[in-house]
Amino acid sequence: FFCTSTPRRNIQQHHNHIIHIILILLTLRLNTLLLLTKMKLELTSLVALFAALSCVMAGSSPRPFGITRSPSTTSKSTDIILSSIRGGAVHESSTLADLDSKIQSAALQNKLTIIDFTATWCGPCKAIAPVYKELSEEFGSNAQFIKVDVDVNPEAAQKFGVSAMPTFVFIKGGEVVDRLMGANAARLKELIAEWSL
C-alpha cells in the first residue's frame, strides 16, 4: 500500500521541477529578446551618428543641420534617419486619420504642409515625384511634405476636393491656403517658397 503514494509524490515533484525549469527558460528568453531590442535601438543610433560624422569628416557642403549624404553610398535606413535629422523627406499617408495627425503636428510647429495627391498610374505624377523629393530636402526645415495615393486613401482626396492628379494642397495653421493642379515644377517651388516663410 505504500508503493502507490511514493511514486505519485515523486511524479508531482518532477512536474514542479519541470515547470520551474520552463519558467526559468521563458524568463531567460524574454530577457534575451529585451536585450536584443535594446541593442538594435542602440545600433540604429550609432548608424545615424556614424553617418553624420562621416559627412562632417568628409568636409561636404553643409545643408540644414549640417548633414549631407551621397545617395549612391547610403542605405535606405540611413537615408530615413538622415532625412528625419535634416527635416527633408516625403512622408506617405495611407489613412485620413494619419494625414490629419500630420497636418495638426505641422500646425503646432507653425510649419507649412504640402500634400501631393498622386496615383501610381499617373504619368505626370511620376515625372514630378523626383522634383517634389528635392524640394522636401531644400525646404524640409520649414515645411512638411506628404504624399497621398488617391487609390489607397480616397477619403483624403475627397476631403480636399481632389479630382485630378497631381494636385498639391498647401496647408498653413491647419487651413488650406493654396493649391496647384498639374506637374508645374517652377510654380510648385514658387508656392513652397512663398508659403513656407
With CA atoms as reference, report the closest residue to 100 among 115, 87, 116: 115
Distance, CA of 140 to CA of 9 (rounded, Å): 71
Active site residue 3: no
Distance, CA of 189 to CA of 135 (rounded, Å): 7
Active site residue 122: yes
Q: What is the DSSP letter of 165?
A: S
Active-site hit among 81, 106, 122, 162: 122
- Quote the pLDDT of residue 32: 63
Enter the pTM of the model: 0.57
- Quote the pLDDT of residue 31: 66
Higher pLDDT, 115 or 43: 115
Active-site hit among 115, 125, 143, 169: 125
Distance, CA of 197 to CA of 188 (rounded, Å): 15
- Quote the pLDDT of residue 2: 39
Grid cell digits, residue 181:
493642379
Does residue 108 surpass a pLDDT of 70? yes
Percentage of the residues of the chain whose pLDDT score is greater than 90: 50
pLDDT digits (tens, 9 = 90+) for 52-93: 444 444 444 333 333 334 444 444 444 444 444 345 689 999
